[in-house]
Amino acid sequence: MGTGMLATGLASQAAVNNVETNAERSSRKHNQRFNMSGYAAPKLDKVRIGFVGLGGRGSGAVERMAYIEGVEIVGLCDLYEDRVEKMEKLLEKHGLPRAKSYSGNKDAWKQMCEDPDIDLIYITTHWELHTPIAVYSMENGKHAATEVPAARTIDECWQLVETSERTRKHCMMLENCCYDFFELLTLNMARQGFFGEIVHGEGAYIHNLLNENFDKNKYVGMWRLKENQHRNGNLYPTHGLGPVCQIMDINRGDKMEYLTSMSSNDFQMAAKAKELAAKDSFYNEFTTDHYRGNMNTTTIRTQKGRTIVVQHDVTSPRVYSRIHLVSGTKGMACKYPDPRVSTSHEWFKPERMKELEEKYTPEIVKRIGEMAKKVGGHGGMDFMMDWRLIDCLRNGLPLDQDVYDAALLSCILPLSEKSVANRSNSVDVPDFTNGSWKTNAPVELTLKGGGTTGVKESKKVDTTKQLSI
Ligand SMILES: NC(=O)c1ccc[n+]([C@@H]2O[C@H](COP(=O)([O-])OP(=O)(O)OC[C@H]3O[C@@H](n4cnc5c(N)ncnc54)[C@H](O)[C@@H]3O)[C@@H](O)[C@H]2O)c1
């Protein structure tokens, strides 16, 4: 598929030019209309879902949802009809009825969002459509669940917050890494005081995608390469930050105050574009010098005086890592290269690690962990996330991740961009909760009030490697 086939209209230069506007908006006063943190929407017996964006990620989501009881897949939307048809075949394979199909033009998703017989719109398109579709869904009375990042600009972050508060519809960012096994274990350990006071956390998205980003057949319309071509900051902070923020009760007892961000130069992408363009004119439009720095390091200070480091590097030939480091006054944990815990100079031996697992494995993992591994999706975390989302909606429980989390984790990209453009000077982080972070309850770690959603038996074994997150 050529780039011309998808009019993504990536407003990259506009985004760069928007930096000042975004900064102004960081300090904007927002009067919270209604607190969506801890908000429980009316129970839904069945959750009727419409999916938009049926590429690599969307097709996996449709398949996972097909295993969850109480779900009806009623709408399927993609720019390309054959992608919709492929998912209809998948529903057939699962013995499920056909969904309504929406395709053929770039606005077909609007029609789906307007359908009164849908409860939840599940968004898995390229980044530029996440906020427009989420906002339109909520305006049309649907809950919205969107892939990461939920927004690309500060203005979009506020649009999500304001729309969710006004419509009282959930807007969840699908930060699946919050549901990975070690991340959940360390969240429970933190909650039980194992680490003492949390002082510092680290996360990252270190994932060599150099070839994928330049692959003509990978991301529709080359959307991912274009994001990397025009925005110089921490492009994909949410996987590293999500679990660390939950552990630090960010938006629920603490909040981010300011950040500083530094990027290296680009040593790889412009060179790669030139090399490819010499053989194939398709790549001519990518031979620019705007590429983001290969390594970005962003440091965040919280209101309680704690620090977070989040890195981004998707081009260097490095081993995959989201770091996931938690450091407190009594102990620490680090997930990569393999999960370790310590309270002294040495890592715990395997027997101690086993004891920790037995003591601190949270209820969701005990209830659904094995099944999640079978259904799959990055080793099971994707399935745990989907199951929990549906279980909360069916039982009228607050979601684990609300619109303030979506906005906060997403705003790190435009704010880091501003800091990088300004010799790493500090930038204030907006308080999307408008002060309610002081009293918002921490993320629920039990299945209290829920846990009633069943799963259809699966014999499928996950073949998705950790590396493809
Ligand atoms: N959480 C994770 O672990 C994870 C992993 C991979 C991707 N993602 C995210 O998922 C999203 C999708 O990534 P992907 O790899 O599937 O990309 P992709 O390019 O494979 O899929 C995007 C799909 O959106 C469709 N689309 C584009 N414009 C559309 C429109 N106007 N209407 C309807 N459909 C439209 C495309 O045709 C394509 O099928 C991205 O936001 C990405 O960051 C998350």
Give per-residue pLDDT as tens, 228-275: 999 999 999 999 999 999 999 999 999 999 999 999 999 999 999 999
Number of domains in the chain: 1
Residue 261, strand partner residues: 298
Whether residue 235 lies inside any domain: the answer is yes
User: Under a CB-based contact definition with an 8 Å cutoff, are residues 287 and 326 in contact?
Assistant: no
Candidate from 104-118, 253-267, 365-379, 409-423 with smallest mean pLDDT: 365-379
> Beta strand pairing status for 256-263 and 120-123?
unpaired
Helix axes 403-420, 154-167, angle to 10 degrees: 170
- Domain hosting 267: range is 178-362+403-438
| Ligand 1 neighbourhood includes 201 CB (under 6 angstroms) | no
Report CA(264)–ligand 1 centroid distance (Å). Answer: 28
Whether residue 431 lies inside any domain: the answer is yes
pLDDT at residue 115 tops 80: yes
Task: Kindly list the strands in the beta sheet with 143-146, ordered across the sheet, starting from the edge strand earlier in the chain.
Answer: 100-102, 71-77, 47-52, 120-123, 143-146, 171-173
Whether residue 129 lies inside any domain: the answer is no
Does the pTM of the predicted model rise above 0.85? yes
Measured in residues, the chain has a length of 469
Residue nearest to atom 5 of ligand 1 (CA): 469
Report CA(304)–ligand 1 centroid distance (Å). Answer: 37
pLDDT band at 28 (very low <50, low <70, confident <90, very high): low
Whether residue 353 lies inside any domain: the answer is yes
Residue nearest to atom 43 of ligand 1 (CA): 148
Residue 328: CATH number of its domain: 3.30.360.10
Closest alpha carbon to 405 in 243, 288, 273, 297: 243
| Ligand 1 neighbourhood includes 9 CB (under 6 angstroms) | no
Report CA(33)–ligand 1 centroid distance (Å). Answer: 32
Whether residue 191 lies inside any domain: the answer is yes
Q: Provide Rg for the chain, Cα atoms.
A: 21
Whether residue 233 lies inside any domain: the answer is yes
Query: Position 253: which residue type?
Result: G
What is the rounded distance in angstroms from the CA atom of residue 221 to the CA atom of residue 216?
Answer: 8
Handedness of CA 124, 127, 133, 138 (dihedral sign): positive
Whether residue 249 lies inside any domain: the answer is yes
Report CA(219)–ligand 1 centroid distance (Å). Answer: 7
| Ligand 1 neighbourhood includes 56 CB (under 6 angstroms) | yes
| Ligand 1 neighbourhood includes 58 CB (under 6 angstroms) | yes
Cis peptide upstream of residue 149 (ω within 30 degrees of 0)? yes
Q: How far is CA 39 from CA 64, 379, 401, 441, in A?
A: 26, 30, 11, 11
Q: Which atom, in ligand 1's list, is nearest to the CA of 108?
A: 32
User: Under a CB-based contact definition with an 8 Å cutoff, are residues 387 and 220 in contact?
Assistant: no
Distance between first and last Cα of the chain:
23
Q: 3-state DSSP call for residue 369?
A: helix
H helices, E strands: number in the chain: 16, 14
pLDDT at residue 358 tops 90: yes
| Ligand 1 neighbourhood includes 236 CB (under 6 angstroms) | no
Whether residue 48 lies inside any domain: the answer is no
Tokens 């620090």 belong to which residue? 307
